[in-house]
Amino acid sequence: MHPRPPRRVVVAGAGIVGLSCAWHLQRHGAEVTVLDRSAVGAGASWGNAGYLCPAMTVPLPEPALLREGLRGLADPDSPLALDPRPSARTAAFLAGFARNATGRRWRRALAALAPLARASLGAFDELVAGGVALRTHEAPIRIGFGHGESTAGLRHELDAVRASGQAVDFGPAEPGAPFSSRIGRVIELRGQRHVDPGQVLGALADAVRARGGRIVEGAAVRAVGYGPGGLQVDTWSGAPHRADAVILATGAWLPELGRAARVRVPVQAGRGYSCTVSLPEPLTTPLYLPAVRVAVTPYRGGARLAGTMEITDRDAPFRQRRLAAILRSVAPLLDGFDAASVRDPWVGPRPLTPDGLPVVGSTRVPGVHVAGGHGMWGLTLGPVTGRLLADQVMTGTRVPELVALDPSRRAGGPQRFNTAPLRVARGMGADDKIENKADELKGKAKQTVGEATDDDELRTEGEVDETKGHLKQAGEKVKDAFKS
């Protein structure tokens, strides 16, 4: 047991993860203040696809995705897009990602995610039972494949999730509206749910306030540390907030505050785009189009389209071209699709980690905890994360499900980076470009490790050698990936 549970807790970040933490901290009796640099749902949590889909909650780094990503380098409209001039931080992240993109590591990460995924829908029901006025909708997800397109990858993934202990119910279904005739096969994934993410966030924020919590918008946290009165949170506006415990839930912005708390897991933005469109008939179930990696979800009388994984700076400007690419890719696959009806254009940063696991738990700074890095599945996993972390923080007892998500783990990338952009030679063929990029990433990552050797987090020679070894392997893997 904790000698004395924290009384005042400050949560930085009012996304699904921060608000879920806040609600569960209150369940334990804590006085909670949530600070957001912008507003509730200003990050990735508002415009996402709204799937609550534990059956598809799998780690992102896997060999096929790595290959696809490298090929996508040559196509500016690819659903997987890499900034042509990635920062050294991004290059190091990619090297770590490549190192983790093996079948063995994927299965290991899946086993670590499984207990959270299994409990994820129940965690939404728990919020509802506790008075949060959020609404979830149960409906199968219909996954549409083109004629001749293989379903093997999806089946393999769903079988692996089933083997990890989840009841996964899927099977063939009739193609048909709103899929166009180009969709020849449909797999229906049953027992999943979807939500309007904005409605969920609003309801959760209202519930936190109704229990006496404060949510302060426009309050960017700039530092967390110990002052004369103990733990304090400094913002760019207003007086410091005193706290007995702090939770950093700042999504893709985690590195700023996490670095001072000695969080070792790099978090990189994988930006996605979404918009709302009208379809001739109201959509009754979510759809997924794996060939173009676009999710289509019933949304306020229309459909929300969400897709693209753009590995770039989380605060980069909205790129109209990416949204246009989503619309172009979907148009031939849905009947009666009205591209002129586009509204709510949005971009948001998925917080990605190199090993595909969230970062949840205590840091090496007493009283400072982290909840983030959920990548593609933070909406699904937000409430269960809030419950588990609040239990750990308030009882002082380590929660077994969080052990593998430790913020101090080595996830495959150094923490110290320079920001010099990479230069990409122009006027080359596609294959040359890919090979050139792979070499540059490898070189940049090596250089970054060289620069990191004076970092006190990498101070022993053994650690440096280990990291160099991993990067070398990652470089080889990058090369292998585009050879195959």
Q: Which of 21, 32, 33, 48 binds ligand FAD (CB under 6 A)?
A: 48
| Residues of this chain, 206-225, that bind ligand FAD according to CB under 6 A | 220-221
44 scored as a contact of ligand FAD (CB under 6 A): yes
Least spacing, CB of residue 112 vs ligand FAD, in Å:
17
- HSE, side-chain direction, 13 A CA sphere, residue 190: 6
Angle at 360 between CA 124 and CA 403, to 5 degrees: 105
79 scored as a contact of ligand FAD (CB under 6 A): no
Q: Which of 43, 59, 383, 386 binds ligand FAD (CB under 6 A)?
A: 43
Least spacing, CB of residue 255 vs ligand FAD, in Å:
10
Query: Quick one: which of 72, 289, 59 has its CA closest to 157?
Result: 59
303 scored as a contact of ligand FAD (CB under 6 A): no
Tokens of 476: 């080889």
- DSSP character string of 338-390: EEEEEEEEEEEEEEE-TTS--EEEE-SSTTEEEEE--GGGHHHHHHHHHHHHH
d(CA 90, CA 201): 30
Least spacing, CB of residue 70 vs ligand FAD, in Å:
21
347 forms bridges with which residues in the sheet?
273
Site string for ligand FAD, 448-467 (x = CB under 6 A): --------------------
Least spacing, CB of residue 37 vs ligand FAD, in Å:
4
Q: Which stretch binds ligand FAD (CB under 6 A): 40-48, 84-92, 124-132, 387-395?
A: 40-48
Helix and strand totals (H; E) in the chain: 11, 21
Q: Which residue has the tokens 């921060």?
A: 18
- Nearest to ligand FAD of 56, 334 (CB atom): 56
Least spacing, CB of residue 344 vs ligand FAD, in Å:
12
| Residues of this chain, 356-395, that bind ligand FAD according to CB under 6 A | 372, 374-380
Q: Which residue has the tokens 């419950």?
A: 387
**Residues 371 and 225 sit within 8 Å (Cβ to Cβ):** no
Q: Which residue has the tokens 């509730």?
A: 40
d(CA 161, CA 154): 11
352 forms bridges with which residues in the sheet?
268
Q: Which stretch binds ligand FAD (CB under 6 A): 15-23, 142-150, 202-210, 419-427?
A: 15-23
- Nearest to ligand FAD of 8, 468 (CB atom): 8
- Nearest to ligand FAD of 11, 94 (CB atom): 11
d(CA 40, CA 273): 19
Q: Which residue has the tokens 């109209």?
A: 320
Least spacing, CB of residue 405 vs ligand FAD, in Å:
13
Q: Which stretch binds ligand FAD (CB under 6 A): 43-51, 126-134, 394-402, 445-453?
A: 43-51
289 scored as a contact of ligand FAD (CB under 6 A): no
Q: Which of 18, 144, 146, 302 binds ligand FAD (CB under 6 A)?
A: 18
d(CA 280, CA 402): 45
Angle at 204 between CA 202 and CA 207, to 5 degrees: 110
Site string for ligand FAD, 234-253 (x = CB under 6 A): ---------------xxxxx
Amino acid at 223: A
Binding positions for ligand FAD, rule: CB under 6 A: 12-18, 35-38, 42-45, 48-51, 220-221, 249-253, 257, 272, 274, 295, 306, 348, 350-351, 372, 374-380
